[in-house]
Chains A and B, each alone.
Chain A
Amino acid sequence: MMRPYTPKDNVQAKAYYTDRFWVAPRIAEEPVPKEGIYAEDLDALSAKCKVLKAYIQRGQLVIHIDPKDNITALKTLKEERWYEMLSEMSAVDFLAERGGFEVFYQILNLNTAQRIRIKCFVDENEAIESVNPLYRSADWAEREMWDLMGVKVNNHPYLKRLIMPDDWEGHPLRKTYPLEGDEFAQWYEVDKIFGKEARDIIGPENRDPARIDRYDTERFARLGHEVPRGTPPEELKKLEEEGVVTPVRYQEEEGVFLVKDLNEEPKVLDKRK
């Protein structure tokens, strides 16, 4: 299904001044129709386990279940309703709001081309049962979920970090994980290769060397807001409050010394030579 088009102008710059924890508007939830494939799927599922909530979103059935029922629910849908493919599974970090993760399974019925999303909410320290015996594609997805989110998975055949190095600490896709890494991440390669003693010799990472500080009087300043070299910071603040702005001049405006303006008129030869 195609998503509606939203204008993407300025989307990169916006990231700097919009709230990181802005909550996106919810997509409308419609009730599940009384008959049809989805109604039958829902009936088959509610006969086997408890359905906490079910609705249609963008024409797709979404079912909330208890995390303990995940194997029962997926087994029912796979064996009785032929949802034979697990096309996607992962977790969403809701640690700040609700103290846990929302794990979702996106399953596909290859005969009817219908998709169902099964969602369940696990607390931070609660483990979820592996669905690897039902769907082989869950193998790496569950490892990734453990690696990047820290959702524990029970009875997984080989629960090892998938993306980050094996000796990594922390789960980087959690919203509380700093983008530039915690102390462990920032010194990871130095500690690992040279040992902690080398930290003093190598020094901290120089991140964002292109950053322009408007109060820096030694290197680059913002164009039009240049400040006199060596001015103490208090005076710079005062200058700014007074609104001191260096006018931006371009060479072309007043002509350049000893350089004649370009003659815009083309020269036409009278005759071919």
Chain B
Amino acid sequence: MAQHQVNYTQSGGLPVALTTVDKILNWGRSNSVWALTYGLACCAIEMMASGASRYDFDRFGTIFRASPRQADVMIVAGTLTKKHSEFIRRLYDQMTEPKWVISMGSCANTGGMFNTYATVQGVDRIIPVDMYLPGCAPRPETLQYAVMLLQQKIRKESANKSQKPKRLV
């Protein structure tokens, strides 16, 4: 975080650290990406495993919230059916900006093995996705890595950039 060396002897012994507003805002944001519990199918088991004590998401500041108003990232874990597509869009719209989406597993990425009339062929037909995790199901390590990459992405962004509507597909 600190970009400038602090010389405590010269600044009167004060613990002063200099940074930019962007950096400190993004530092806070990236270390508390709260995830919306969005388990739809078997991938949800791996998402839950990532949250439990062995993999322990809490140490990244990622805590699962059951309300879209409190969540920053939506981890779409599982098969999205057409019947449900309306609700995922509504929940996405209810999340407060800034918000991100991780599409977890083949089903969420492309419809996976469910090449049928009832499955949405990729959540990116409905909501903009920031990160795609391959796998069926991805291991908790993959999800952890995705969250860490997302943190890097957040830290690189400008903190108060105007929120452009993200392009779909």
Contacts and interface: CB of A to CB of B under 8 A. Distances in A.
Given A179-B116, A185-B117, A206 B122 contact: yes
B109 to A, nearest CB: 10
Contacts of B111: 205, 207
Contact of B116 (A180, A189, A201, A206): A180
Given A179-B116, A189-B126, A206 B85 contact: no
Given A202-B169, A205-B121, A209-B110, A189 B115 contact: no
B168 interface: yes
A203 B122 CA distance: 12
Interface in B106-134: 110-111, 115-118, 120-122, 125-126
Given A181-B116, A201-B169, 18 more contacts: A164-B118, A165-B82, A172-B118, A179-B116, A179-B117, A180-B115, A180-B116, A181-B118, A185-B82, A188-B85, A190-B125, A193-B85, A193-B89, A202-B168, A205-B111, A205-B125, A206-B121, A207-B121
27 contacts: A164-B83, A164-B118, A165-B82, A178-B117, A179-B116, A180-B115, A180-B117, A181-B116, A181-B117, A185-B82, A185-B117, A186-B117, A188-B82, A189-B120, A193-B85, A193-B86, A193-B89, A193-B126, A201-B169, A202-B125, A202-B168, A202-B169, A203-B169, A205-B111, A205-B121, A207-B115, A209-B110
Interface of B: 82-83, 85-86, 89, 110-111, 115-118, 120-122, 125-126, 168-169
